[in-house]
Structure 1
Amino acid sequence: MGSHPVNLLLRFLLEIVAILAIGIWFWRLHDDWVGYLLAFGVPILVMVVWGVFAVPNDPSRSGKAPVPTNGFIRLCIELGIFGFAVWALYDMAWYNTALIFGAVTLFHYALSYDRITWLLKP
């Protein structure tokens, strides 16, 4: 189920929302050029980390791993990014948005139980 096209679309949309939430949160930290730098720089860094650190032959991705990573580390990266996005939304007082985003993320990972067990296999 983790590699089902609808679930992959959901994960892609969650990634986009997470990147936007992180960018907006960093933008709101400063009222000057630093805010703009952080608003663009940190999301780009997050996208690079998301795209580069991968588990070889992950069926939910292309199978390629620019920087081969074990499944536990990959899962921690994903949960860290999504968790930070939920916290950023909450910190901006977007409580309902944080709750909905967190719930949809948990729903996605519940649907992806087969991928999670594959990632955590020794």
Structure 2
Amino acid sequence: MSLNPVMLAARFLLELAAVASFGVFGWRAFEGPWKFLLVIALPVIAAVVWGTFALPGDPSRNGQARVAVSGSARLVIELTVLGGGALALQSAGLPAWGVVFAVLVIVYHALAYDRVVWLLTHD
């Protein structure tokens, strides 16, 4: 199920939205020069973490890992970045968007249960 092109596209859109959410947080939650630094730095940090740590052989990615981690560690990273996007929206003063994003992340992972199980069994 999780390798279905529609599910892969949904996950990619969730990734993009999470990264963008960190930028929104940086813009709305801070003032002065920090605002301009964080609106760029927070999304870059989230994207680097997302792209760097991977489970080798992950069929939903290119199968390669710059830094190899266990399946459970990768699941924690994914939930932290995606859930962090929802929390970032909430903290940026956009609670409705934060809730909507959190629900989308939960629904995606419920539908992609095969990926969650696969990650948990590849430690």
Work out the CA distance in 2 between the residues paired with 1:14 and 1:118.
20
Structure 1: gaps (5+ residues): none
Matched, 1:34 2:23: no
- 1:109 equivalent in structure 2: 109
Equivalent position SS for 1:104: helix
String of CA shifts for 1:8-30, please: whole Å, max 9, x gaps: 10011111111111111112232
Name the aligned partner's letter for residue 29 of structure 2.
Answer: L
Aligned-residue Cα RMSD (Å) equals 1.2
Work out the CA distance in 2 between the residues paired with 1:13 and 1:29.
24
Q: TM-score if structure 2 supplies the norm length?
A: 0.93
Work out the CA distance in 2 between the residues paired with 1:97 and 1:27.
16
- 1:17 equivalent in structure 2: 17
Work out the CA distance in 2 between the residues paired with 1:90 and 1:28.
11
Once structures 1 and 2 are overlaid, which stretch shifts more, 66-75 or 27-36?
Answer: 27-36
Matched, 1:98 2:98: yes
Q: Which stretches of structure 1, 4 residues or longer, exceed 4 Å deviation after superposition?
A: none
TM-fit CA distance, 1:31: 2.1
Q: TM-score if structure 1 supplies the norm length?
A: 0.93
Paired residues in the alignment total: 122
TM-fit CA distance, 1:54: 0.3
Equivalent position SS for 2:30: coil
Equivalent position SS for 2:46: helix
Work out the CA distance in 2 between the residues paired with 1:86 and 1:30.
18
Contact 2:53–2:74 (Cα < 8 Å) also in 1: yes
Work out the CA distance in 2 between the residues paired with 1:74 and 1:19.
17
Name the aligned partner's letter for residue 41 of structure 1.
Answer: A
Work out the CA distance in 2 between the residues paired with 1:112 and 1:6.
11
- 2:72 equivalent in structure 1: 72
Work out the CA distance in 2 between the residues paired with 1:30 and 1:19.
17
- 2:59 equivalent in structure 1: 59
TM-fit CA distance, 1:33: 1.9
Equivalent position SS for 1:56: coil
